[in-house]
Amino acid sequence: MTRALLISVRFHDNRYHGTGDWPPSPARLFQALVAAATLPGLDTDKRNALKWLEKLGAPTIAAPAAHSGQNVNLFVPNNDLDAKGGDVRRIAEIRSATKHIRPRLFDATVPLLYIWHFDGDESQAKCICNIANDLYQLGRGVDMAWAIGELVDEARVEEQLGDYPSVIYRPSESGKGLALDCPDDGSLDSLEIRHKANAQRFTHVNSKTQFTNAPRPRFRTVSYNSPAARLLFELRCTTAPGAPFAPWPLKSAAALVRTLRDGACARLEKHFNGSGVVEKVLIGRNATEADKTQRIRIIPLPSIGHVHADPDIRRVLVEVPPDCPIRADDVAWGFAGLEVISPVLNEETGEILSSPVELVKADGDSMLAHYGVTEERTSRLWRSVTPLALPEDAKRRRINPAKLREEAKGGKERADEQQCACYAVIQALYHAGRREKVAGLRVQREPFYAKGERAEAFATGTRFSKHQLWHVEIEFAEAVSGPLLLGNGRYSGLGLMAPVQQVEGVLAFSIVDGLAADAEPLQLARALRRAVMTRVQNEMGAREKLPVFFTGHEADGSTARRGGHAHLAFVPDLARQRLLVIAPHVIEHRKPFKDECDHLKTLARALAGLSELRAGRAGKLGLKRVEVNPDTDPLFAPSKAWAVATPYAPTRHAKRNGRDSLQNDVLREVQRRQLPVPLAVEEKGANLLLRFSVAVPGPVMLGKTMHFGGGLFTCCVKERDHT
């Protein structure tokens, strides 16, 4: 029977000063255990136990999310006296060395978990548990910690991991992921050799002191959380002219998965001599909770990406985990050419009346971007395409009941039903290994897409009741990537979610309450700018200087005058009761530069959780993060006509001869934003109207005060509808 050695580590403080990646590697924990074992003396039993531990496979790790704290510089003496011939009288000639310390901050109430799986005698594992009780630090000397070791069964391990509130790191023998050092056969001996060598680093030869580095310890590098291999196929009528797509009905997604799964299983089983491994990873037969990380997922991909798209299934994605016992190329062979629908033949003549539908390898994978598979298509807001199969007895935990009751619509019975479904969604996230913080939830039976299907329609032919199926919208605190599959039907073609299209580089906050009636936009913009710079400064560290991207000022404090707009704009959109932070590449309608991408990530981390803004007389504002839809938002939707919404401030004063008129100033600004030349610039008093020959996407922000909300244009509804 497989057992698990579980070591729980807790830190005295919520800071970690150790070098390397987070979480602390298993090799670092092994060194800490060796240090704890040698305190009273490394006897034979402890030595044998540590040698037993170093031969086990890489452990599973659960660690709280961490972020970098404030950078601290310590000025210490430089020990390079050898450069001065060892003469202590010349020590003043050696400059002081700067030691940079930047700890990682995390929630100290959440323990680190290290889990090794083993079979056989438990005596060595019990000895490791006793050693773990003597652990006193993990990391540097200031990282005081203690540990508890225990032996648990597989079911208990999976339950603890399912309830763990943060990130799970699983090892993989292949693939590319987070590289962490792990104990290896001979690690203990190498540590003892290194310890002895450190005591003999200095030797005297011919009255001179020589220094020798101690040999490095022996560890092996293991990849954690490696991405799965993805195989994309298409449903094609292979014998028809041009081999067109063969759309499969959306509501029959589960039936398609069963057909493909059984066909691939029959193919592969012949080459594995009936060992049962194929049924375990493809069907889940005789699989335990621990085997879920090795299971192959068959994901039907409905066609989405446009409001008028027909959502039938034309493509299928097969995900092969890095630790799957079947190689990815073997899985590809098992699925390629599978016959989904047999051809219809004329029994008398043998004529083929309809082409067979087969699974063929896709030529391109651009469709995956619609499901957030690429890193560039992360999103905070996700909506289900196929409904989630949720347990009907969900426990109520980790969510605000008052918020759910407020969002639930309809009568009390329906509100309670939706509330239970929301709790079940939280459980589904944990069971799928997603530990991202949830900011909002919405459940309903109706589809979120115009041509979608109601949730109940997917129950036919499945083991799920129609009452278990829900369409779900999830808003995360930070952007996440896909594919995102949730619920008990995630191995059966259900629970597929897609990111909601949004404008990258725009952070929008709805003003929930607290706005004064006489609030001035400029005052709000300046208050928002101060808040953003303060939070970014805290994120980067007090000693780091804020780049121009955030401040709009050069290093000497002068206003940035680089010809372009290289800094953020802070836009109060009072007509829609919201505040916008807009990146410069969005203003200039171009792709972001590399340094701007890094700054945008810093900005997103800094503004995560922003819920309040103190704006002086304008009020103490309650804020809520909202998304911007580029297809419907008046500031971003494409249109041929744009009307000014806030006062336009010319960049230059008009001359008496009229050569620098307002129209000319606007035309120069339009060119700077890399927009098409407008057909006309209509001026009617304080109103400006831009007319283009083609539909131009927003935002359209012009003039001297555009970085504080001035010169903001909105699209004209009639013109937008016409285009």
**Cα–Cα distance, 262 to 298 (Å, whole number):** 11
**Third-level CATH fold of 372-499:** Immunoglobulin-like (2.60.40)
- Domains of the chain, by residue range, sit at 3-66+106-224, 229-367, 372-499, 506-626, 639-722
> What pLDDT, on the 0 to 100 scale, is given for residue 408?
43
Cα separation, 644 vs 701, whole angstroms: 9
Q: Amino acid identity of 670?
A: V
CATH assignment, 229-367: 3.30.70
Q: What are phi and psi of 579, to 5 degrees?
A: -120, 140
* Rounded Cα–Cα distance for residues 302 and 299 (Å): 10
- pLDDT at position 472: 94
Helix axis angle, 26-37 to 123-132, nearest 10°: 80
Secondary element (H or E) of residue 59: none
Contacts of 530 (CB under 8 A, 6+ apart): none
HSE (side-chain half, CA atoms, 13 Å) at 561 = 6
- In this chain, the answer to whether the domains covering 229-367 and 372-499 adopt an identical fold is no
- The candidate with the shortest Cα–Cα distance to 318, out of 256, 242, 272, 266, is 256
Per-residue confidence (pLDDT) for residue 81, from 0 to 100: 63
Q: Which two tokens stand for residue 582?
A: 């807009």
pLDDT at 402: 44
CA 474/CA 666 separation, integer angstroms: 42
Name the residue among 547, 555, 172, 625 with its Cα closest to residue 380: 625
The CA-atom distances, in angstroms, between 460 and each of 425, 463, 464 are: 22, 8, 8
Angle at CA of residue 501, ends 499 and 503, nearest 5° = 125
* Number of CB atoms found within 10 A of residue 302's CB: 26
The per-residue pLDDT for 373 is 86
With a cut of 70, list the residues of the chain below it in pLDDT: 1, 77-88, 91-97, 174-175, 274, 290, 350, 352, 375-377, 392-415, 561-565, 653-660, 685-686, 717-723
pLDDT digits (tens, 9 = 90+) for 268-295: 988 887 678 888 888 888 877 767 778 8
* pTM exceeding the 0.85 threshold for the entire prediction: no
